[in-house]
Structure 1
């Protein structure tokens, strides 16, 4: 993995995020840019997709797109940056807490659980992740 001070979002991963956002924003009846601009708007579209069963365990790309929406909400809430991580598990977009070594992989957080047949409560998942990232960042134990 690259040193954290040199992490950037590569063009290929930027394109992936942009395509996912187009699909996500397509769920809004009117003014998708405005609707997606708030943390609540981002979480609402994820919540609706999960509650209505519009995505299933075989819809990996769509599930990862929901993870991107949750990641966008976390990025907005905690001032995180999207970066590309290339490690032993492959290459994918991740969230990075600037100035630290903290990275988070929201793309797979929803997908893995749905694919394993688990129920996902997006509000609980979001809040738990947000609290844990804050605790790690301010624990004094992170680079």
Structure 2
């Protein structure tokens, strides 16, 4: 009996040492938000430039920052097969353009969202938990096959973001 009592602290210590890394690993995967780094901003700028050149070379049009015009141009690039489901980089570039339109419409800012899955560019409203992930909005739908309705995606994102916000007093 005395021998088993001596092993209890040893057993507890061993169990704690085995479980501690799990606790530490879990603590590492908290959600964090940060401002895009210089490299993030540079990459997004290159994506915008690349998709703008692709649009200009194939349609004679460039993205303007006007939602109705840019959404129509994105739809044209997709419908005419200029951007195909296998062109992930270009689809994500369209997502950045879409994100710029959403940011302007909804007064959201680009942030870097990090969790256990990884690091993503997202739009965030103020300091809230309200997020949109426009970079992959078009890519995931297009890669899934079928027609991708850019206007519908834009309208749904706007409606969802507005529904998440707390109403202002006296509204």
Distance 1:126 1:87 in 2: 25
Aligned to 2:23: none
5+ long unaligned stretches in structure 2 = 1-30
Check the 8 A contact 1:49/1:55 in 2, yes or no: yes
Q: State the match for 2:85 in structure 1.
A: 57
The Cα of 1:37 is off from its aligned counterpart by 2.5
Query: Which runs of at least 4 in structure 1 moved beyond 3 Å after TM superposition?
Result: none
TM-score by length of 2: 0.71
Q: For the Cα contact (< 8 Å) 1:80–1:96, is it kept in 2?
A: yes
Query: Structure 1 residue 136: deviation in Å?
Result: 0.8
RMSD: 1.9
Q: Give, in whole Å, the separation in 2 of the partners of 1:77 and 1:51.
A: 25
Structure with greater contact order relative to length (CA < 8 Å, sep ≥ 6): 1
Separation in 2, partners of 1:36, 1:95: 20
Matches within 5 A, 1:46-125: 46-125=74-153
Preserved contact between residue 46 and residue 66 of structure 1 (Cα < 8 Å): yes
Contact 1:25 1:36 in 2 (8 A): no
Higher relative helix content:
2
In the comparison of the two structures, how many residue pairs are matched? 134
> 1:17 Cα shift?
1.1
> SS state of the match for residue 44, structure 1?
helix
**In structure 2, what is the Cα distance between the partners aligned to 1:88 and 1:42?**
34
Alpha-carbon distance between aligned partners in 1 of 2:121 and 2:82, rounded to the nearest angstrom: 24
Alpha-carbon distance in structure 1 between the residues aligned to 2:145 and 2:103: 27
Structure number, greater radius of gyration: 2
> Match for residue 49 of structure 2?
22
TM-score by length of 1: 0.84
For the residues of structure 1 that align with 2:119 and 2:95, how far apart are their CA atoms?
16
